[in-house]
Chains A and B, each alone.
Chain A
Amino acid sequence: MTNYSISYAQLLEANNSIQVLADESYWLCLTRTTQGSKLFPVSPYILLSYLNAFYRYPSLLRKVESQMRAEQCGDLARNFSGGVNTSTIGWCLPAFYLLGRELLINMGLLKPEDAVEDVVYVLDFWRRVQLSYHRNDGHKMNREFGHRSQLLPERTLQVFEADIFPVSIGDPLHTAAVRFLAAMSQFQFLSHCECRLGIMNHGPYRIGERSELIVRDFVNVGAGDFPWLDGIVDDIHYASLTIPMAIKNTHFHIVDDWGSLESEPAFQVENLIGVGLYTSDRLTETYIPVAMETIDSLTKKFKELQELVIDATNKLWARFAGWSRREMLQAGALVYFSTPKDLAHMSGTYEQADWMEIDERASRFEPLLNDEFGNDCLTELVGTISLPSQKTHEYVMSMHNDSPRRMISQIPYSIVAGHPYTKSSGPCFPGSTVLQKKVGKWRTSRGLLTEVEYNRLAQSFLPASCSAKLGFLDDSWVKYHFTDADADEIYYLSQDQSRHLKRKGARLTRSDIVSITGNHW
């Protein structure tokens, strides 16, 4: 193919994104985690997910954009807690795709000049959704912000600050919240096959001289896309749960592009001084308080949810204990691969077969994926950066390790001069899975919905705060127009179910919140 259709400027931009992601991926993989499991074959499933991502993401993202532009998805994502978040879209989407490409290059089944239009498109999609999602802090990645993430507008943060309840160690709400957080974190690791993609954090947001607000999201909580949760989470009536936490004497100096935290000093539960509970999904206007009427009602709710989550953990563990290795391999691969799936829910284009099956071009590699190949190949791919495609000329000193290695191959500029290249890996091929077929419905704020019903509602519902009239009235505009009726209108939307701020409007500042609540964090 020499019918050149990508501009030099587009290639420059794509290669910049590739390198930024490669640099950050190395830092994340080397310093932020060690992942292993005796239950799941984690590294093999990660590699399978990368291959599936390479073959399917371009088509599935184009399908999303047939209904909704990437930047509109980012706008919606700021408005609720869901699967479109820092980790899934900020890092997983482009990194999984590019690492699948790198693996295929090392298999000899791809060259860096192949699928160029796909690569450029996926990275362009990622940039647009990220710029929109991070609109309020003005960055594309947490990395650019010194590993910080301030996604939310003032109006949402004011409601969180006003309505969370003060707690101190040993009181019933503090105890219930901490126990719930532990049980929920464990369930999320289990339901996500040992990965942390069900837990997300953003912030910190300043709420006092020595206090910061961290917002923790648990996603894919109620009945949703994962077929293995059918019959396990029927009693958990929330698609997602959001816990804003006020924390004293602790500075969160790293909130990375995986949504994980680091603080100085290390976070201790005795420094948790405020807590709330919300739910939200694609069909809500914004965050909906859960049992936030009184301290007692919230305490009771945390206890009730903790019991439900412990019960779900035991049931799910028993289900997994009866699984074959292939079921575990495919389930884990699908958790990883499907990280961008909520883009499809947002745009009303979700189909279970798109996101919960392994494309036959990827599944043919399953026989390679024994534990030792998985562990060693993944280590070479993202740890030692020692696969043949990753070595560069000897003068190169890579970021973070000074070695002549590059995690992800650049697209050669030679194609601008007419050298051969290919455009696309083509549409999705048929997929399959050995996992049980999903039979349950999807848990939403509008009740349990079928796939068709969920897509139809998603296509017809746009939150008013994302409308053409109000969606572009951001904090920069409010600063000089806080007395305008439109400013009040958009603040009213966030305040609608607030205990303290209902219809207080756009004039509020933090000192007003302190006066109203009496809480000095």
Chain B
Amino acid sequence: MEDWSLSKNKYRAEETTTVPRAYLGALRKMALERLAKSGESWSEFVFGKSYDLISRYDIDQIEKDFLASGYRFVASAVVSASEAPEKYKRLEGQDEHEFTGTILNGRMVAGYGDNVMKCDRNIQGTALYLHTMQDVLDLMATGVPPSTIAIVDDAGGTLTAPILAEFVAIVCLGGTVRSHMGILSREYRIPCLMNSSVAGVKNGDRLELNVSAPAKTVGDYQRKLERKTEIWKVTD
């Protein structure tokens, strides 16, 4: 049975991403089939039998059929992948890569990021990656080592909530200066780079962040202006 919202849509748009296209298309097809099966008009069906004829079981089946193709979802929350590893691709942490940084003006550039807040001077500290709740729990038990620069891939403000205030600086591998992590680092006055990329940085490496550089503004984002600031690896 043809997808009504496409076949009857003069402009014949369809979803641009894989999973919404598959799921919403399957739902539209199911709705049409169940409407025909009900023998009712749309007006009778829409807020009546549709609830019985399109149940949680039916919707669960859409996911099962889709996963049977071998597709695995990209996770964003740690709990999603850890609870249902059969449905999700493995969450990759960005650490322990072979060094691919560059030497610029005699300094080893190990990454770049968007500066949240212009500080009086740069900050140095020791790199520590945090990916999971277990990482945070471990630090809650042992205490955050002095001069820790946290490297996190969570642009939200909740994963590291209990220990955030104890970092000397933060390198966030996602988000923008307006993400919750950006907002909170500003409130705590903790130097922070958002939307960062790093290469060749391992736990325990000594880093310097160029946070005395100008902050990236919302206007910069709107005008699509690049304003990346450096993450240096301190080797001496």
Do A and B come from the same complex? yes
Which residues in A have some Cβ–Cβ distance to B below 8 Å? 1, 31-43, 105-111, 114-115, 178, 181-183, 185-187, 189-190, 193-194, 196, 262, 266, 269, 313-314, 317-318, 320-321, 323-325, 328, 361, 363-368, 370-377, 379-380, 384, 386-394, 404, 420-422, 424-426, 429
Asked whether, in the complex, the Cβ of A367 is within 8 Å of the Cβ of B156, the reply is no
17 additional contacts (CB under 8 A) given A36-B179, A108-B27: A38-B77, A38-B154, A38-B156, A41-B79, A43-B76, A106-B15, A107-B27, A182-B184, A189-B157, A313-B162, A328-B77, A372-B74, A373-B19, A380-B17, A380-B20, A392-B11, A422-B47
A124 to B215, CA, bound (A): 43
A190: contacting residue among B10, B43, B155, B161, CB under 8 A:
B161
Asked whether, in the complex, the Cβ of A194 is within 8 Å of the Cβ of B156, the reply is yes
Residues of B within 8 A of A111 (CB): 42, 46
A344 to B47, CA, bound (A): 26
Residues of B within 8 A of A318 (CB): 162
A-B contact pairs, 8 of them (CB 8 A): A38-B76, A42-B76, A107-B28, A114-B47, A361-B51, A370-B87, A373-B73, A380-B20
Residues of B within 8 A of A31 (CB): 218, 221-222
- Which residue of chain B has the shortest Cβ distance to A189 in the bound complex? B157
Residues of A within 8 A of B189 (CB): 178, 182, 269
A452 to B79, CA, bound (A): 37
Asked whether, in the complex, the Cβ of A262 is within 8 Å of the Cβ of B218, the reply is yes
In the complex where A373-B20, A386-B13, A386-B16 touch, is A34 in contact with B175 (Cβ < 8 A)? yes
Asked whether, in the complex, the Cβ of B63 is within 8 Å of the Cβ of A368, the reply is yes
Query: What string of 1s and 0s marks CB contacts (under 8 Å) between B170-203 and chain A?
Result: 0000111011100110011100000000000000
Contact of B103 with A by CB under 8 A? no
Asked whether, in the complex, the Cβ of A368 is within 8 Å of the Cβ of B62, the reply is yes
A150 to chain B, nearest CB (A): 23
Residues of B within 8 A of A371 (CB): 73-77, 80, 88
Query: What string of 1s and 0s marks CB contacts (under 8 Å) between B154-167 and chain A?
Result: 11111101101100
B15: contacting residue among A108, A368, A387, A420, CB under 8 A:
A387
Asked whether, in the complex, the Cβ of A325 is within 8 Å of the Cβ of B161, the reply is no
A375: contacting residue among B76, B164, B179, CB under 8 A:
B76
Asked whether, in the complex, the Cβ of B27 is within 8 Å of the Cβ of A372, the reply is no
In the complex where A39-B158, A370-B73 touch, is A189 in contact with B184 (Cβ < 8 A)? yes
A317 to B79, CA, bound (A): 14
Contact of B217 with A by CB under 8 A? yes
Residues of A within 8 A of B183 (CB): 185
Asked whether, in the complex, the Cβ of B162 is within 8 Å of the Cβ of A317, the reply is yes
Asked whether, in the complex, the Cβ of B3 is within 8 Å of the Cβ of A194, the reply is no
- Of B63, B131, B156, B162, the most chain A CB neighbours within 10 A belong to B156
- Which residue of chain B has the shortest Cβ distance to A37 in the bound complex? B156
Contact of B137 with A by CB under 8 A? yes
In the complex where A186-B184, A387-B24 touch, is A376 in contact with B43 (Cβ < 8 A)? no
Asked whether, in the complex, the Cβ of A422 is within 8 Å of the Cβ of B80, the reply is no
Asked whether, in the complex, the Cβ of B164 is within 8 Å of the Cβ of A325, the reply is no
Asked whether, in the complex, the Cβ of B59 is within 8 Å of the Cβ of A367, the reply is yes
Asked whether, in the complex, the Cβ of A108 is within 8 Å of the Cβ of B9, the reply is no
Asked whether, in the complex, the Cβ of B54 is within 8 Å of the Cβ of A314, the reply is no
- Which residue of chain B has the shortest Cβ distance to A361 in the bound complex? B51
A324 to B133, CA, bound (A): 13
B30 to chain A, nearest CB (A): 8
A321: contacting residue among B31, B42, B137, CB under 8 A:
B137
A324 to B23, CA, bound (A): 24
Asked whether, in the complex, the Cβ of B77 is within 8 Å of the Cβ of A181, the reply is no
- Which residue of chain B has the shortest Cβ distance to A321 in the bound complex? B133
A266 to B14, CA, bound (A): 41
Residues of A within 8 A of B17 (CB): 376-377, 379-380
Asked whether, in the complex, the Cβ of A35 is within 8 Å of the Cβ of B19, the reply is no
Residues of A within 8 A of B47 (CB): 114-115, 422, 424-426
- The 10 A-B pairs with the shortest beta carbon distances in the complex, nearest first, are A108-B28, A37-B156, A391-B13, A38-B154, A182-B187, A376-B17, A108-B31, A364-B56, A372-B73, A189-B157
